[in-house]
Amino acid sequence: MAGVSLKNVVKRFGSIEVVHGASLEVEEGEFIVFVGPSGCGKSTLLRMIAGLEDISGGEIAIGGVAVNDVEPADRGIAMVFQSYALYPHMTVERNLSFGLRMNGNDKADTARRVAKAAQILRIEELLDRRPAQLSGGQRQRVAIGRAIVRDPQVFLFDEPLSNLDAELRVQMRVEIARLHAELGVTMIYVTHDQVEAMTLADRIVVLRAGRIEQIGKPLDLYDDPANQFVASFVGSPKMNFMAAEVASIEDGRVTVALVNQGSARLTVPAENGFAVGDRLTVGLRPEHFGREGEGDCDLSIRVDMAEHLGSTSYIHANTTSAEQLVIEREESRSEIGMEHLTVSIPAAKAYLFDASGARLR
Amino acid sequence: MRMRTRAAYGFLAPYLLIFATFWVWPIIYSFYLSFLATRIQPWSFNPTVTWGRLVVDPAFLNALKNTLIILVIQVPVMIALATVLAVLLNSQLLKARGIMRFAFFAPVVVGEAAYAAVFRLMFNADFGVINKLIGSIGLSPVAWLGDPTAAMALIIIAVTWRWVGYNAIIIISGLQAIPQDVYEAATLDRVSKPRQFFFITLPLLKPIILFCVVLSVIGTMQLFAEPFLITNRGGPGQATETLGLFLYRQGFTVLNFGYASAVAYTIAALAVLISLANLWLGRSAR
């Protein structure tokens, strides 16, 4: 088991810099998830830790040892690929044992390790099959098994569940969480799915355009996002954003007009210096909308569509305007079929962001 | 018949007519011919002078032996070279890959007569560049066109030169179908590059290599242009006479159509048998 340390890690492809000085300390045994949209550099960062990509600048250390110039196989890591990367011409047993056999590992030890991995992943009955004869979920288990037999200090997962269907993804997510609990090994996991990130991670690293936007525990990111990007990326359905203009400022409180919501006025506590007339964004999570009169500001909305999931409903409002809202309501059966609804915004739950997306507190 | 179906056959008719006249009919007719004694008019049914002659005719057995020797040496050598060449041409380290691939593919599009003429010049015993090179490293010159073994080697070299790039291009397509992350997984498994080639690349290329072997076997069984043009109609003597050349001699020099037809069917049958044997040997373990 080992921690991983990234210091100002830079990646350039030719003249294009895709990772701009990422720094991160991963504790021993921690489950870290890199999350971000396509092209944010999360997979590149993972591949640099694995040694499959050169490091253009900065330093990566595994277990306290700088590995910039260490061969991938000598870094004590194992990686699970998005496409599984199984050897198509080998049986599951051969896939699991290939690396050990190629390195002259003792036969009995190889057999023992393969049997143990197969038992952990419950794939014992699949050992004689080839990858083509396995389902997506079974292939993913074999790919994880191949990582387990190496007995690595650090597991790296590169979007391992993105080729699976929704149901299997949930199931495998649980399996991976169980595996982490069972093995207690450091795991670094890349995904673009924030639900995977929220459910699996000890800490999440949110990346955008090659920069780390925020590092934190899942609920800390959810409750206290550093900026509008993190606020929008973490949480499903997404946080609502409403354009606002500063109407008045008085000691530690600012009153904004929600310009696209009938100029409803909302007063929120804020300390930063801004001026009357400044353009801001107010963020509010779908579940934080209150009923009429319950909050600090009422909004009259046009209901366009409602998704009734049983215990909760998602009301999609103002979808034809520039600023659509999603409102989560519990026990909203009495509202089924309503075309207009008045909801309220509790000021304490609202987030303020400036024009650049930075959080105002 | 539905209108659409009739229209489809209408459009296909010109092709089907030509196919039937120049492919199907000759194939059937030559099978019939292969049972006829065609040296004296009128032609009569007498398979002993066609099929029967095959097993006793030393010229046929010589051509068969020559063809099989070329097949056994040239096909494996060429496929091995093509595989290595494909790996090199597919390397990320190689500059101007497109031009290099074309350069190795180009021999296929060069006219047979032109390339044969150049080979005859290059391998000329007295003033050819090959013998000059051999001489420059202190070896005695080789009578490429006069010595039976050397002439055979020359045919093998020429055919290999002409088709190695073609096969390499086919194998490259197979290489490109192997996902890169399989190699990355092997790298993480501490498997060296040479071992990756033998334990991952080669097994995964097996179907495409088998395809190339079958194509080459069929091509070599019909080998005609090189012995006809380079070693001057299978010379010296009949040292490089192949089945294709023997068939041509029987059919179009001696005008013994019945015997030539029997030879043609024998060539086709051998090509099918050897190809099937290859496929059987190369089948998956499961």
All residues at 6 or more sequence positions from A310 whose CB lies less than 8 Å from its CB, including other chains: none
CB–CB contacts below 8 A, A to B: 62
Kindly state the DSSP code that residue B126 receives in the 8-state scheme: T
Q: What is the pLDDT at residue A291?
A: 87
Measured distance CA(A203)–CA(A318) in Å, rounded? 35
Whole-number Cα distances in Å, A261 to A122, A161, A321: 54, 40, 10
In this structure, the strands spanning B44-45 and B36-37 are antiparallel
A72 touches chain B (CB under 8 A): yes
A79 touches chain B (CB under 8 A): yes
Question: Average per-residue pLDDT in chain B?
Answer: 92
| Interchain CB distance below 8 Å, A72 and B204 | no
- Once rounded to an integer, what is the mean pLDDT over residues B212-227? 93
Q: Which CATH number fits domain A240-360: 2.40.50, 3.30.300, 3.40.50, 3.40.630?
A: 2.40.50
Look up residue A33 and give its two tokens.
């998830």
Give the closest-approach CA distance of A4 to chain B in angstroms. Answer: 17
Kindly state the DSSP code that residue B140 receives in the 8-state scheme: P
Give the closest-approach CA distance of B171 to chain A in angstroms. Answer: 18
Best residue in A79, A114, A128, A154 for a mutation probing chain B (most B CBs within 10 Å)? A79
Tell me the chain A residues in contact with residue B185 when contact means C-beta distances shorter than 8 Å: 79, 81, 85-87, 146
Q: What are phi and psi of A284, to 5 degrees?
A: -150, 130
Is B35 within 8 Å of B51 (Cβ atoms)?
A: yes
| DSSP assignment of A271-300 | -S---TT-EEEEEE-GGG-EETTTSSSEEE
Is A138 within 8 Å of B231 (Cβ atoms)?
A: no
Give B85's pLDDT tier (boundaries 50, 70, 90). very high
Over 80: is that where the pLDDT of B57 sits? yes
Residue ranges per structural domain of chain B: 56-281
Measured distance CA(B132)–CA(A61) in Å, rounded? 60
Question: pLDDT tens digit string along B147-193?
Answer: 999 999 999 999 999 999 999 999 999 999 999 999 999 999 999 99
| Interchain CB distance below 8 Å, A102 and B179 | no
Q: Specify the 3-state DSSP secondary structure of A170.
A: helix
B200 touches chain A (CB under 8 A): yes
| Interchain CB distance below 8 Å, B187 and A73 | yes
- Assign residue A227 a region (left: φ > 0; alpha: ψ between -120 and 50; beta: otherwise): beta
| Interchain CB distance below 8 Å, B191 and A99 | yes
Chain B, 106 to 165: residues with Cβ < 8 Å from chain A are none
B195 touches chain A (CB under 8 A): yes
A128 touches chain B (CB under 8 A): no
A102 touches chain B (CB under 8 A): yes
CA-nearest residue to A78 within chain B is: B188
Measured distance CA(B200)–CA(B209) in Å, rounded? 14
**Cα A217–Cα A19–Cα A61 angle in degrees, nearest 5:** 70
Q: What is the pLDDT at residue A115?
A: 94
| Interchain CB distance below 8 Å, A52 and B187 | yes
Over 80: is that where the pLDDT of B217 sits? yes
Whole-number Cα distances in Å, A300 to A260, A340, B76, B101: 12, 7, 80, 68
Measured distance CA(A337)–CA(A318) in Å, rounded? 15
| Interaxial angle between packed helices B257-281 and B202-221, expressed in degrees from 0 to 180 and rounded to the nearest 10 | 170
A80 touches chain B (CB under 8 A): no
Over 90: is that where the pLDDT of B97 sits? no
Q: What are phi and psi of B73, to 5 degrees?
A: -90, -50
Cβ-nearest to B182 among A73, A74, A85: A85
All residues at 6 or more sequence positions from B80 whose CB lies less than 8 Å from its CB, including other chains: none
| Interchain CB distance below 8 Å, A73 and B188 | yes
| Interaxial angle between packed helices B97-105 and B58-89, expressed in degrees from 0 to 180 and rounded to the nearest 10 | 180
Which of A145, A158, A218, A149 is closest to A188 using CA atoms? A158
Which of B239, B249, B91, B67 is closest to B159 using CA atoms? B67
A48 touches chain B (CB under 8 A): no
Tell me the chain B residues in contact with residue A82 when contact means C-beta distances shorter than 8 Å: 181
Kindly state the DSSP code that residue A358 receives in the 8-state scheme: B
Neighbours of B228 (CB within 10 A): 21
A88 touches chain B (CB under 8 A): yes
Give bridge partners of residue B104 from the DSSP assignment.
none
Give the closest-approach CA distance of B84 to chain A in angstroms. Answer: 21
Measured distance CA(A91)–CA(A134) in Å, rounded? 10
Measured distance CA(A255)–CA(A270) in Å, rounded? 10
Measured distance CA(B43)–CA(B241) in Å, rounded? 28
Burial class (CB in 10 A: 0-12, 13-18, 19+), A347: middle
Task: Give the start-end residues of each E strand in chain B.
Answer: 36-37, 44-45
Measured distance CA(A48)–CA(A68) in Å, rounded? 9
A78 touches chain B (CB under 8 A): yes
**Cα A172–Cα A177–Cα A181 angle in degrees, nearest 5:** 145
Q: What is the pLDDT at residue A319?
A: 67
Tell me the chain B residues in contact with residue A88 when contact means C-beta distances shorter than 8 Å: 182, 204
Residue ranges per structural domain of chain A: 4-233, 240-360
Look up residue A291 and give its two tokens.
């009923």
| Interchain CB distance below 8 Å, B199 and A98 | yes
Count of helices and strands (H, E) across chain A: 8, 21
Long-range contacts of A251-257 (CB under 8 A, 24+ apart): A254/A352, A256/A280, A256/A282, A256/A352
Best residue in A62, A74, A81, A100 for a mutation probing chain B (most B CBs within 10 Å)? A81
The whole-model pTM stands at 0.82
| Interchain CB distance below 8 Å, B187 and A130 | no
Which of B187, B213, B196 is closest to A89 using CA atoms? B196
Q: Estimate to the nearest angstrom the gap between the alpha carbon of A48 and the chain centroid.
A: 19
Measured distance CA(B168)–CA(B78) in Å, rounded? 9
Q: What is the pLDDT at residue A336?
A: 66
Q: What is the pLDDT along chain A (361 residues), one digit of tens a residue?
A: 689 999 999 999 999 999 999 999 999 999 999 999 998 999 999 999 999 999 999 999 999 999 999 999 999 999 999 999 999 999 999 999 999 999 989 999 999 999 999 998 889 999 999 999 999 889 999 999 999 999 899 999 999 998 888 888 888 899 899 999 988 999 999 999 989 999 999 999 999 999 999 999 999 999 999 999 999 999 888 999 999 999 988 888 889 998 888 778 898 888 767 788 889 999 999 999 988 888 888 888 888 888 888 888 898 987 667 788 999 988 666 666 778 888 899 999 999 998 899 998 8
| Interchain CB distance below 8 Å, B191 and A98 | yes
In this structure, the strands spanning A279-284 and A351-353 are antiparallel
CATH number of A4-233: 3.40.50.300
Which of B23, B38, B22 is closest to B262 using CA atoms? B38
Q: Specify the 3-state DSSP secondary structure of A285.
A: coil
- CATH superfamily for B56-281 is MetI-like (1.10.3720.10)
Q: Estimate to the nearest angstrom the gap between the alpha carbon of A354 and the chain centroid.
A: 24
Measured distance CA(A288)–CA(A240) in Å, rounded? 10
Look up residue B152 and give its two tokens.
């055979």
- Once rounded to an integer, what is the mean pLDDT over residues B247-271? 93
Give bridge partners of residue A307 from the DSSP assignment.
A314
The kind and range of the H/E element at A267 are strand A264-269
Give B94's pLDDT tier (boundaries 50, 70, 90). confident
B6 touches chain A (CB under 8 A): no
Measured distance CA(A105)–CA(A299) in Å, rounded? 69
> Which amino acid, residue A107?
K
Give the closest-approach CA distance of A153 to chain B in angstroms. Answer: 13
Neighbours of A57 (CB within 10 A): 15
Cβ-nearest to B189 among A52, A73, A88: A73
Which of A309, A333, A329, A334 is closest to A317 using CA atoms? A329
CA-nearest residue to B177 within chain A is: A88
Neighbours of A30 (CB within 10 A): 17
